[in-house]
A and B are shown apart, each in its own frame.
Chain A
């Protein structure tokens, strides 16, 4: 047995009092003898508290100072610090479509029959998406920015161009975007990239070889009347496979198969509206999945099917 070293030569060691677990635990919570709470005296706790308050305050202060300095000195709230090729976003905007399916992993637009309940989800999606375009006059400070744009009259700085979706019959809300007739309208949009200017195919002879024939002929026609129409980011949609193409039937583009050049560049102007193209699938075959691929055409829109660059893919199935 070991002697307690604190004891004198002839002093006897006393038996240590036995403590139950509960007793020990309550001692840990609050010990009357030493006055400790959770193993420390209140004084010790307060010191810890003071130290960590100061320490974390200093750390947060440094973080805040660095953050604020950076945000104020180097960041413009209206202009991105890194743009286009300097930014990860790059110079090739992505093409998007509406309405979007509910399941995030799917790109299938599917509805059954012509009843309102069956396509209500898709219609609501589109109404929601297009509400910005309809309500532009009501939004504060946006209405007055609208400028009547033209190829010859690009908007002055601070002004934005209008997108008149009301005239795109049959792809209008009142017509249920033609969903009820099993010839739905799908809306296409090009992602906004600050300061991005499309490089147009202004020379008809140099149109890419893989451009669909109907688009080529459309361009030829349009530019024959007015050369300015060449200043468009063209859009084409078609079935992915020859079979899809056959089943898909004719497609009409509203208002034109492209985004007019005067919408660009996007410079974060108040009330800016992205140009839209509605594609009206006039008579797609029902009861079968149709793979549709839409592509945006400009010299500086990169195209890579594998990487899904410059192209958007969705499926359609009507029953």
Chain B
């Protein structure tokens, strides 16, 4: 027969708090997801997709793809993505790569021919999202959006869950372990509590407390905060992170396979060297030769042979090497005046069969026709009879030919593309001013020419690349070059940017790669650190990435071209160039470098590693407060003392005071060793070392601080520690209203419970004080606190917040009732100070040992998480 006139509100409060916590957590993660998805949306709109669309007879090359409707006519060129499902109405050599849709790896020809009943195999339809590899086509839009073949597949795929990123996997397994541990502990305590005779309700509250204490509630916001924060930072560095997890994966990256053209180099040909008889001039030192007659002839020949055109606004358009020649000439002469003075009368365009290009011009000064030729040195030299020297022309002897060949080889070996120039002034008798030149049946001589000289052209590496690659390699990341270019060019660039540092850099060409078994490829990757893959096809790029991944590497691929797209997709982190990159590569990539700055990758690696480091710090911070939350219950059961920490106060710590500092550790800047260590390969987010550190070292110190505060408060009121042990049964007995303390004072139940609240509040405050110290400790894993300082303003604010919140919880009358705290005396705040100092000193000592690898790295093995 009980008579509870006024049942306690405590359990109601607890229920309210738990519900509030659930709702707030839900809202918070919704807000975070909403925010990051908003960022993602802006990213997507920053990479607009346009189509060439003819509507109402008007061509608009900037029609956004989403505005296409059925019946529009679109034009698709090589390199474009087909913007919708289209029926081809006109085409030339139009080939599409249907691999994304059908799995065919070979590009198929599509044209305006009769179709088949199966639309997927119909040779006159090209599908949305497939890529045009060759040729061009005009087509009528059949369907768009979700109605397209891809849209229907995507609709199916959307229901499937995508594979998790390494970080997400890591978090998932950690959360699973933690929950299991919390449930087991809760179960164990429930049994213990029921055995010692606690009512069922009280037991449930204990279990809730234990579970709340163990689950790291602050983790999810911390992860989202770090990723979003980093993504925003990367945007400032002109780097779009399309996939948030990719930035963390970049930190774990062990191998970078970089494309050469456009990624490492500027993708802009420049004249690098000039060879005129027996003399190689660097482009910067050619000025001294301005009055050399040979040089003047060479300029004229170059200006007339180059097919690049100069537009009215001064821009040069044309093929890369042609532009390079004109660019070079612009610095020394005016190619426009030359062209005006030598009107072109005929031209034989370059083709891969004859490997030269020739034009015939009329010299306005003497009204003679001149044949000018440009091409591969060996072909040109063979057609020459004489050679221009400073002093005049001499016949080209066999020895001289050898010298020319040697010079060509030398330039070619340094990665330059060599062009030879020759001219021949035609005789006015045979070729009068009204002579009709026929380029189909050549009626003018193309041999016995005068050899003028050689130009060495090269695509120079980007300025920042060398430095960036050095730093990436220092960070333990292997950089390999995978290019479709010639081995010699690849080698030269590799040397220049620092991918190859010694002569024994290993070069594998596509042909060699084709003959390799996967085993041999693996072995080669193992044996040679510096490897350059040259002349590789897109599938081979993919093969290389897969070979690296099968070795357990985390592979980043940088590329700009369409041919890089499969590798970009397959790679753990695909990085594309925003300015020079093709549409496909940008869409496939996880990260887009908007300003093409390779050095951003270094920042990316640093940021990625920082994210992982900071997550570890944050988890460690959260875990440390677990020990002082779990152990009181154990003390309560084992030593039968009044409960040192209540469930409400545990919730106050975990969801109140610890929250901000834990999240703010994500704002910590990178440690000094972040780029000096090798990439993590099988390192876990939460390791045994961290658990040792959290539960075995710092957590126990916090527990000691809390117990000290608890005992002192009890002792000051008259319950000396010895009297507390074993008192639990009487203490928690509602009927006993005259429990004697060590001084003979008699306490009623209500007075005792109030004292218990005061002692618990002191324990809570001790945790808050030690957790503040802990926030400072967890700022660094490796560096000393004195090296890092208190520069993280968010954390500083977090610590102040923690203190203020603890004060509010203790001293606001309603709150202290609600959360079962107590307005404790000011001096009890200082009880934890000795323990906080011990924590700090111990951890500084530990970090000192770790930095200096003292005791044979014993501390590193023990607790360097």
Binding site for B on A (CB under 8 A): 1-3, 5, 9, 47-48, 51-52, 55-56, 58-59, 62-63, 66-67, 70-71, 74-75, 77-82, 87-90, 93-94, 96, 100-101, 103-108, 189, 191-194, 266, 268, 272, 274, 306-308, 312, 315
Contact = CB atoms under 8 A, between A and B. Distances in A.
Given A75-B720, A106-B1, A194-B718, A80 B743 contact: yes
Nearest to B701: A59
A191 B2 contact: no
Contact of B838 (A59, A88, A103, A266): A59
Interface string B727-744: 000000111111011111
B635 interface: no
A47 B834 CA distance: 27
A70 B712 contact: yes
The 7 closest A-B pairs by CB, nearest first: A191-B746, A94-B748, A80-B718, A88-B755, A81-B716, A96-B738, A104-B735
A88 B751 contact: yes
B657 to A, nearest CB: 23
18 contacts: A2-B522, A51-B858, A59-B838, A66-B831, A67-B711, A80-B717, A81-B718, A88-B717, A88-B758, A89-B718, A90-B751, A94-B748, A105-B2, A107-B735, A189-B738, A194-B718, A266-B745, A306-B6
Contacts of B748: 94, 191, 308
Contacts of A103: 735
Contact of A191 (B697, B708, B747): B747
A59 B550 contact: no
Given A47-B858, A89-B718, A191-B745, 10 more contacts: A63-B704, A63-B708, A70-B712, A80-B718, A81-B716, A90-B751, A101-B735, A104-B734, A189-B738, A308-B748
B361 to A, nearest CB: 60
Contacts of B700: 56, 59
A17 to B, nearest CB: 23
B750 A307 contact: yes
Contacts of B595: none
B744 A192 contact: yes
Contacts of B527: 9
Nearest to A289: B1
Given A3-B519, A80-B743, A89-B745, A94 B751 contact: yes
A62 B716 contact: no
Nearest to A75: B715
Contacts of B696: 52
Contact of B734 (A78, A89, A105, A192): A105
B201 interface: no
Interface in B184-200: none
B661 to A, nearest CB: 24
Which of the listed residues B737, B758, B842 has the most CB atoms from chain A within 10 Å of its own CB? B737
A104 B551 contact: no
Contacts of B146: none
A315 B708 CA distance: 42
Contact of A194 (B3, B523, B745, B754): B745
Contacts of A59: 700-701, 704, 838
A2 B711 CA distance: 61
B738 A62 contact: no
B154 interface: no
B715 A81 contact: yes
B828 to A, nearest CB: 11
Contact of B744 (A9, A47, A266, A306): A266
Contacts of A106: 1-2, 735
Contacts of A74: 716
B26 interface: no
Given A75-B715, A88-B755, A67 B745 contact: no
A118 B533 CA distance: 101
A51 B758 contact: no
B721 interface: yes
Nearest to A48: B862
A193 B745 contact: yes
A86 B696 CA distance: 38
B744 A272 contact: yes
B715 A62 contact: no
Contacts of B751: 88-90, 94
A52 B721 CA distance: 26
A189 B349 CA distance: 120
A303 to B, nearest CB: 14
Contact of A2 (B551, B835, B842): B551
Contact of A70 (B2, B523, B715): B715
Nearest to B748: A94
Contacts of A71: 715, 720
Contacts of A3: 519, 522-523, 526
A82 B716 contact: yes
Nearest to B756: A88
Nearest to A291: B3
A89 B744 contact: no
Contact of B717 (A89, A100, A101): A89
Nearest to B833: A66
Nearest to A269: B744
A292 to B, nearest CB: 13
A51 B862 contact: yes
Interface string B748-780: 101100110010000000000000000000000
Contacts of B746: 93-94, 96, 191-193, 274
Contacts of A2: 522, 550-551
A93 to B, nearest CB: 8
Interface string B704-725: 1001100110011110110000
Contact of B697 (A55, A67, A81): A55
Contacts of B715: 70-71, 75, 81
A103 B733 CA distance: 10
A89 B747 contact: yes
Nearest to A95: B737
A88 B754 contact: yes
Nearest to B700: A59
Contacts of B737: 94, 96, 191, 312
Interface string B411-430: 00000000000000000000
A63 B707 CA distance: 9
A70 B5 CA distance: 41
Interface string B1-25: 1110110000000000000000000
A108 B743 contact: no
A52 B693 CA distance: 12
A145 B781 CA distance: 65
A206 B752 CA distance: 33
A71 B742 CA distance: 13
A258 to B, nearest CB: 18
Nearest to B552: A2
A89 B740 CA distance: 12
A97 B680 CA distance: 70
A105 B735 CA distance: 6
